[in-house]
Structure 1
Amino acid sequence: MASKACHSPAPTPLKVVIVAYDRAKLLDICGPLQAFSDACLNVGYAAYEVSVVSESGGLITTDTGVKVDTTALDQITPQTVDTLLLAGFDPSMPPISTASLESRLAVYLDQPRRLGSICTGALILAKFGVLDGLEVATHWSACDLLKQEHPTIRVKPDALFVNSGRIWTSAGVSAGIDMALAMIESDLGHLTALNVARSMVLFLKRPGGQSQFSVELRQQIQDARGRFEDLHDWIRNNLTSDLSVPALAEAARMSPRNFSRVYLRETGDSPARAVEKLRTEAVRRLLESAPDSIQVIARRTGFGDDERMRRAFVKTYGVSPQYYRRRFGRQHD
């Protein structure tokens, strides 16, 4: 696993180096590695040569206990590296012996066309000052720590990945795959990236600005005690019904005044905002899978008016429903 290249005569492959160490997250390494390797298979030539490196080379033990064979960093010529990525780690289990690795890494940072981190690898990359003043993504659990240690960095806590010029950073482990797909799209085109996503059985290739959490997951996190789980299920099944506060309060078996107060306290959202989010999530699913027109989707999800739906969708996802469908709808399958 130290070096993986596809075998087919072709232009000089782009050299991708993934920097690892003991206790690095396994998926941070293997996810992008698989994506770049599948890209080679898709285009039929060695578009990439991927090397997994560590300070001394040889076997490293990842956070899962699985050992990965690596190449020694000093065996890689800095000038040959196109993309260099730092794998992340669990902040509760700091990586072993990264100080000396960091000193060796310093000479590699100015050379690559792309420099980046996966997950909490941003905590290591930030130490070199290359993230100062930039918008950056990292795992949601490390956002506050990154802000505290490097206050000039503009951390985007919801982003899956962020491209700030030559600097790329991604959120939690699976988001490293999303970032790799975006790099593949930049290098080899949109169709290749979508084909790689399909080969990896990914539901869709998520845009970098999309939240680390779905609406459902975010509500589960906010409603930690699960007090309104049944209500949320009821809303999802009744999107075209009356979802006013009195109707929701009746469904929750509470008085309207008490319901509004308790719901806001428990979830952090007003009932109206929660309904809008759940309707918008339903819109997203239909845009991905259904052939219905935008107007029909607006009616099916309870928005009624497609302009009202568009405003809510842009507020949540940062793009219009039409754009989202063009990029992620079934016509791309």
Structure 2
Amino acid sequence: MAHSHNVVFLTFPGVKMLDVTGPAEVFSDANLHGAQYSLSYVSPSGGNVLTTVGTPLVTEAASSALKSGPIDTLVVAGGECLVDEPIPENLIATARELADRSHRVASVCTGAFLLAKAGLLDGRRATTHWLHTDRLSREHPEINVLPDALYTQDGPVFTSAGVSSGIDLALALVNADHGEALARNVSRGLVVYMQRAGGQSQFSAALRWPSPATPGLQRAVDAVTSDPGAEHSVGSLAALVNVSERHLTRLFRAELNLTPSKFIEHVRLDSAKALLDAGHTVTETARLAGFGSDENLRRSFTLRYGLAPSYYRGRFNTAR
């Protein structure tokens, strides 16, 4: 018989509904395939908690979870109020108390800010929604913020990016608890990837940087993003917009805060991930994304995402 595993969701007024229901559906569906997750929803004081969509969520007082003994998994949901408003002291204290009784702790989206305020991310790697990663890093320099990850794990503490990535994280937890086959069955039932790799980018190259104000720089950016596999170089882009290489480099640094070469590499890496996701081989991907050789792709991909393209592709092939 599968081990009974209690999952406690910490909520609060203004909690984002999908941050709760997304992971909850994963754990609930896992029960249809042999798992035994018991789900409970708590808030500092209990009662109805109004969610971002206006639907009330019925919760117990957090003290009820504390009285019932150790918690297997604590899930801290997010909400814009955790960023836009001071976090209530009783909510911080509740998060800390529940985490102290939990075998593992996970946050969804801006729930990372609550974990950070409770001191639970000190000295750890973490992520949150891409809109707020800079702020998390600035307000909590003791945290190693990974701005371009869907979810992270550092010991028993997990954090995930915006909204739907909570589903990816929950699938990863189910996979760890019950194995790949059960997690795959859950993903099929929910019609989602079995498990997007935690290191996968939160957003594509086209969304990563603001639209350039300088028309010439915009043409250079468009040329690269529309065809990453072409023979791009600082010289070719400078010739395209009719400026010197030095001037083009100044424009890139001033508006995008990186060099033309680094921009090209970033776009090609995003293209490579998309090609690997689509089932292309590493060799095909290296050619189509403009890396020229498997080794060039492997070096850049591993440096950026912490895993080899062949391993990344293997995980996605399994998911499909």
Q: TM-score, normalised by structure 1?
A: 0.82
| 2:85 equivalent among 85, 94, 117 | 94
Aligned to 1:301: 289
Query: Contact (CA 8 Å) 2:2, 2:35: kept in 1 or not?
Result: yes
1:187 Cα offset (Å): 0.6
| 1:122 equivalent among 98, 112, 123 | 112
Aligned to 2:26: 35
| 2:262 equivalent among 267, 273, 282 | 273
Greater mean alpha carbon deviation, residues 198-207 or residues 46-55? 198-207
1:169-208 Cα offsets, whole Å, 9 max, x none, are: 2233233222212211111112333443444343563322
Greater mean alpha carbon deviation, residues 134-143 or residues 309-318? 134-143
Letter in structure 2 aligned against 1:130: L
| 1:191 equivalent among 176, 181, 190 | 181
Query: Contact (CA 8 Å) 1:17, 1:51: kept in 2 or not?
Result: yes
Query: Contact (CA 8 Å) 2:83, 2:113: kept in 1 or not?
Result: no
Query: Contact (CA 8 Å) 2:171, 2:194: kept in 1 or not?
Result: no
1:53 Cα offset (Å): 1.6
1:146 Cα offset (Å): 4.3
1:258-312 Cα offsets, whole Å, 9 max, x none, are: 3232133222222222222222222222212134x43233222222222112112
Instruction: Answer yes or no: is 1:136 the counterpart of 2:141.
Output: no
Query: Contact (CA 8 Å) 1:78, 1:111: kept in 2 or not?
Result: no
Q: Aligned pair in 2 of structure 1 residues 313, 19: CA closer, same or farther (>3 Å)?
A: same
Instruction: Answer yes or no: is 1:113 the counterpart of 2:92.
Output: no
Letter in structure 2 aligned against 1:15: N
Q: Distance in 2 between matches of 1:124 and 1:24?
A: 12
| 1:258 equivalent among 247, 254, 259 | 247
| Paired residue secondary structure (2:100) | coil
1:115 Cα offset (Å): 1.9
Give unmatched runs, 5+ long, in structure 2: none
Aligned to 1:23: 14
Aligned to 1:311: 299
Query: Contact (CA 8 Å) 1:162, 1:208: kept in 2 or not?
Result: yes
Aligned to 1:175: 165
Number of positions where the alignment pairs a residue of Structure 1 with one of Structure 2: 317
| Paired residue secondary structure (1:319) | coil
| Paired residue secondary structure (2:195) | coil
1:68-127 Cα offsets, whole Å, 9 max, x none, are: 22233233344152111221221454378x433444555433222112322222332334
Aligned identity (percent) is: 38
Aligned to 1:63: 52
Give unmatched runs, 5+ long, in structure 1: 1-9
Query: Contact (CA 8 Å) 2:95, 2:118: kept in 1 or not?
Result: no
Letter in structure 2 aligned against 1:159: A
Q: Distance in 2 between matches of 1:197 and 1:95?
A: 36
Letter in structure 1 aligned against 2:174: I
Query: Contact (CA 8 Å) 2:206, 2:225: kept in 1 or not?
Result: no
Greater mean alpha carbon deviation, residues 16-25 or residues 171-180? 171-180
Greater mean alpha carbon deviation, residues 111-120 or residues 71-80? 71-80
Q: Aligned pair in 2 of structure 1 residues 251, 191: CA closer, same or farther (>3 Å)?
A: farther
Greater mean alpha carbon deviation, residues 193-202 or residues 301-310? 193-202
